[in-house]
């Protein structure tokens, strides 16, 4: 008789777990708390970028066979070695990431994308957000090259289609509320669908229902004062259910519970993500301008590193500013470099032909201080170093209290633009203690029988910051691992 695996969640990690378990012959039930129209968890709100090791263009062609010879000839895709991935992950997490989890993530990244491709998931180069044309050639930068076809929504649709064809039972509007155990092993999931409760028997359970970023009370409790004021970039349904259920049956917690992935997000975005806009409320081209607060002062080094390695921590910095707001400021020289999210209809933008006129349009800002900040910044730019957006070019400022370390250009060419941003939280870093095989570890130190976890509720992988594109890869890697072992292991 085949094993019955219950997967809790409906995004990338959950679907990968369900598909992997089904490939091993298990009967699989997937419980998605959201209704069908809002399905897919945070995955639906992403651009679909996936960070993975690759040796060169041949590895990319294996994932993206639609690449043409012309594309290959005019593009510098580079490579991304396992050592580069380890270095980036270690550096941005201040070397706090768990070595065993990091090893599984990095070394299984490419093989997992190959598995997804073999199932029917399509990938393409992340041209629009990770490359620039320089001297007639398209150059990728920051180690991030691959995205799912159709972004996050396309990835959810592709994985859902695969799961449906494989005969996985997907139940929408089904909220898992509790686990039960027998003889130290998880044996049932209690599920609430509308006014109906039922207990579903399971040989193993995979929790992949996200973190607690959509729970304002938990945000204030664990992330700290003011975090209840942050906007939520993604789904409203990630309220920590999976973490709570596991802890109730003895699971240990782990990781950076006071930390999270948070970005610059349009100041007038709604409380939760809007699927019609997706990730368009994000504003990630700040390395090519300056960012100021209501006092008219810069407060971060906008060019400290590639956007990939700073955007997930700068949301916290914005939240700490007066009124939880900042403005990203650009001139005509940098406008061609702005990402597509700066052109959405819902953007909060001001434009003017002088810095003084722009300051008058920024509600609540100290206009004289802002103008003084721009003058000081312009005077401090080292103009002798060439500007190159595809590498850390060392074009910096000199003598400012907060330097700009790369991509410093004076704001001197009208028209000028300013975009109002606040903090948008993506997911929380604290979660369940999980080993490299995705087994949930108990407070006694051993695995809880029949219980696995993957995705954003896993603790111990990200601290302080996050390398862009790693979340979907992590969800797929550990989701696949959890599904494989849930379907085959009797421990």
384-400 tens-digit pLDDT: 999 999 999 999 999 99
* pLDDT under 50: residue ranges of the chain: none
State residue 454's pLDDT score. 98
pLDDT at 313: 96
Strands laid side by side in the 253-254 sheet: 253-254, 431-433, 458-459
Question: What's the pLDDT score for residue 135?
Answer: 87
pLDDT of residue 490: 76
Measured in whole angstroms, how far is the alpha carbon of residue 94 from the centre of its chain? Answer: 18
Domains of the chain: 4-211+429-488 (3.50.50.60), 261-424 (3.90.700.10)
Tally the C-alpha atoms within 13 A of residue 429's C-alpha that lie toward its C-beta: 24
Q: How high is the pLDDT of residue 2?
A: 87
Q: Environment class of residue 439 by beta-carbon count within 10 Å: exposed (0-12), middle (13-18) or buried (19+)?
A: buried
pLDDT of residue 163: 98
Q: 391: cis peptide before it, omega within 30°?
A: no
Which residue in 429, 426, 469, 466 sits closest to 53, CA to CA?
469
pLDDT, position 491: 66
| 116, containing H or E segment | helix 99-119
The predicted structure's pLDDT at residue 37: 97
pLDDT of residue 319: 98
pLDDT single digits (tens) 112-143: 999 999 999 999 999 988 899 888 899 998 99
pLDDT, the chain, mean: 97
């Amino acid at each position: 008789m085949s094993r019955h695996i219950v997967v809790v969640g409906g995004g990338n990690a959950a679907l990968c777990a369900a598909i992997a378990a089904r490939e091993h012959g298990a009967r699989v039930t997937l419980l998605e708390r959201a209704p069908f129209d809002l399905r897919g968890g945070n995955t639906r709100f992403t651009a679909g970028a996936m960070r993975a090791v690759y040796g060169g263009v041949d590895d990319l062609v294996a994932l993206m066979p639609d690449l043409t010879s012309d594309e290959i000839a005019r593009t510098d895709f580079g490579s991304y070695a396992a050592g580069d991935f380890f270095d980036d992950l270690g550096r941005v997490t201040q070397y706090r990431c768990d070595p065993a989890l990091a090893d599984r993530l990095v070394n299984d990244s490419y093989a997992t994308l190959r598995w997804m491709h073999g199932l029917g998931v399509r990938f393409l180069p992340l041209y629009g957000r990770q490359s620039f044309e320089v001297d007639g050639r398209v150059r990728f930068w920051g180690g991030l090259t691959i995205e799912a076809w159709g972004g996050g929504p396309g990835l959810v649709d592709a994985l859902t289609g695969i799961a449906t064809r494989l005969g996985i039972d997907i139940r929408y509007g089904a909220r898992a509320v509790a686990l039960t155990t027998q003889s130290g092993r998880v044996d049932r999931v209690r599920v609430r669908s509308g006014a109906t409760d039922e207990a579903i028997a399971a040989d193993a359970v995979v929790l992949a229902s996200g973190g607690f970023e959509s729970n304002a009370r938990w945000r204030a409790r664990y992330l700290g004062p003011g975090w209840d004021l942050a906007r939520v970039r993604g789904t409203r349904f990630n309220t920590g259910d999976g973490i709570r259920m596991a802890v109730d049956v003895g699971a240990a917690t782990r990781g950076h519970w006071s930390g999270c992935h948070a970005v610059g997000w349009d100041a007038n975005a709604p409380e939760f993500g809007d699927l019609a806009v997706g990730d368009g409320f994000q504003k990630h081209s700040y390395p090519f301008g300056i960012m100021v607060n209501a006092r008219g002062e810069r407060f971060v080094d906008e060019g400290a590193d590639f956007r990939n390695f700073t955007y997930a921590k700068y949301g916290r910095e914005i939240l700490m500013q007066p009124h939880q707001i900042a403005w990203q400021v650009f001139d005509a020289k940098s406008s061609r470099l702005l990402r597509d999210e700066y052109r959405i209809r819902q953007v909060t933008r001001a434009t003017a032909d002088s810095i003084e006129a722009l300051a008058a349009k920024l509600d609540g800002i100290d206009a004289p201080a802002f103008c003084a900040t721009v003058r000081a910044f312009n005077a401090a730019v080292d103009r002798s170093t060439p500007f190159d957006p595809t590498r850390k070019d060392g074009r910096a400022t000199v003598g400012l209290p907060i330097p700009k370390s790369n991509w410093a250009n004076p704001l001197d060419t009208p028209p000028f633009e300013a975009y109002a941003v606040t903090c948008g939280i993506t997911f929380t870093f604290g979660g369940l203690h999980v080993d490299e095989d995705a087994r949930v570890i108990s407070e006694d130190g051993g695995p809880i029988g029949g219980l696995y976890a993957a995705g954003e509720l896993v603790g111990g992988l990200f601290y302080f910051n996050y390398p862009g594109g790693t979340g979907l890869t992590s969800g797929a890697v550990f989701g696949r691992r959890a599904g494989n072992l849930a379907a085959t292991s009797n421990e």
